[in-house]
């Protein structure tokens, strides 16, 4: 069992729920990304999603698009992201999921990528534009190195589609809370809970919910029926807002802790 399944199953056994923050690698720079991963772990993260910056992130809204653009302008590439994780692994055993579009992974070469991901300590990969029908080579390459392949489920996914995804997925199922792109929202979609319930009819894998989660009450709501909440744009927005400030890492960590614990005071 991978670190991802071990962590989420341990939470499930004790009645607790997971908190999964997302970062774009290289935003604002590679060294700060490594520091942010360690700080988020200390703030209570259970799994880290590390996004590979991509020039055409069609599933992402403007906040993460801008983060990817900043990282690409600094020259961040997939090789750099692997090096970040290797550095983090000298201090941390937190489960890490590589979040990417398929093209950079294919360009690197799947067998080589899977081997190098295993060496640096990546536990899972989510390629947002990879569909189960075309995933066999990908899954085999990753599975041979003990790396989980995670898939997305949308509220519009019919039951037969969910069943197909569930048969191909490992690690956990990522339920997209709404149609459209990533981004912060004031209210969460009412379609989330029924979608999670439909997923559970087809798999015993843990279920995480993301897209649009930006407040502690959102996290609490998701925890009522899912195993974990994924927070991306709200955290990336904090990085954008405080870029260049000497306490950037501490500010982002406090914001993550606020999201998870629901402390009364909102971080500035």
Read off the CATH number of the domain in which 148 is found. 3.20.20.70
Cα 219 → chain centroid = 15
- Asked, for residue 222, whether it belongs to a domain, the answer is yes
pLDDT one-digit tens code per residue, 40-49: 999 999 999 9
How far is 117 from 261, CA to CA, in rounded Å?
Answer: 32
- Asked, for residue 137, whether it belongs to a domain, the answer is yes
Contact by Cβ (8 Å): 142, 149? yes
- Asked, for residue 267, whether it belongs to a domain, the answer is no
DSSP letters, 150-204, are -EEE-TT--HHHHHHHHHH--S-EEEESSSS-----SS--TTHHHHHHHHHTT--
How far is 223 from 143, CA to CA, in rounded Å?
Answer: 29
Residue 181: per-residue pLDDT = 44
Report, as residue numbers or ranges, the catalytic residues. Answer: 49, 60
How far is 133 from 180, CA to CA, in rounded Å?
Answer: 22
- Asked, for residue 76, whether it belongs to a domain, the answer is yes
What mean pLDDT value characterizes the chain? 92
Phi, psi of 23, rounded to the nearest 5 degrees: -130, 150
Average pLDDT, integer, range 107-126: 97
Q: Which residue reads 């997302």 in tokens? A: 22
- The rounded percent of the chain whose pLDDT value lies above 70 is 93
- Asked, for residue 85, whether it belongs to a domain, the answer is yes
What total number of domains does the chain contain? 1
Range of the domain at 28: 3-261
Report the predicted TM-score, pTM, of the whole model to 2 decimal places: 0.93
Residue 263: per-residue pLDDT = 67
- Asked, for residue 268, whether it belongs to a domain, the answer is no
- Asked, for residue 113, whether it belongs to a domain, the answer is yes
pLDDT one-digit tens code per residue, 234-263: 999 999 999 999 999 999 999 999 999 986
Contact by Cβ (8 Å): 247, 206? no
Average pLDDT, integer, range 3-7: 95
């Amino acid at each position: 069992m991978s670190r991802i399944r071990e962590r989420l199953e341990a939470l499930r056994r004790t009645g607790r729920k997971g908190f999964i923050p997302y970062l774009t690698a290289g935003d604002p720079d590679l060294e700060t990304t490594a520091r942010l991963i360690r700080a988020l772990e200390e703030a209570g993260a259970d799994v880290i999603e590390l996004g590979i910056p991509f020039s055409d992130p069609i599933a992402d809204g403007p906040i993460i698009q801008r983060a990817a653009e900043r990282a690409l302008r600094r020259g961040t590439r997939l090789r750099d992201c692997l090096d970040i994780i290797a550095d983090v692994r000298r201090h941390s055993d937190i489960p890490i999921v590589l979040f990417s579009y398929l093209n950079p992974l294919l360009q690197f070469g799947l067998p080589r990528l899977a081997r190098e991901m295993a060496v640096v300590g990546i536990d899972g990969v989510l390629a947002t534009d990879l569909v189960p029908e075309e995933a066999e080579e990908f899954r085999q390459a990753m599975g041979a190195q003990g790396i989980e392949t995670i898939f997305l489920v949308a509220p519009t996914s019919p039951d037969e589609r969910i069943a197909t995804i569930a048969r191909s997925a490992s690690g956990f199922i990522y339920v997209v809370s709404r149609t459209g792109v990533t981004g912060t929202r004031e209210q969460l979609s009412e379609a989330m809970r029924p979608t999670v319930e439909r997923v559970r009819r087809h798999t015993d894998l843990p279920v995480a919910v993301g897209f649009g989660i930006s407040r502690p009450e959102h996290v609490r709501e998701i925890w009522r029926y899912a195993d974990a909440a994924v927070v991306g744009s709200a955290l990336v927005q904090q990085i954008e807002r405080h870029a260049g400030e000497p306490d950037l890492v501490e500010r982002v960590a406090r914001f993550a802790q606020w999201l998870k614990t629901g402390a009364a005071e909102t971080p500035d």
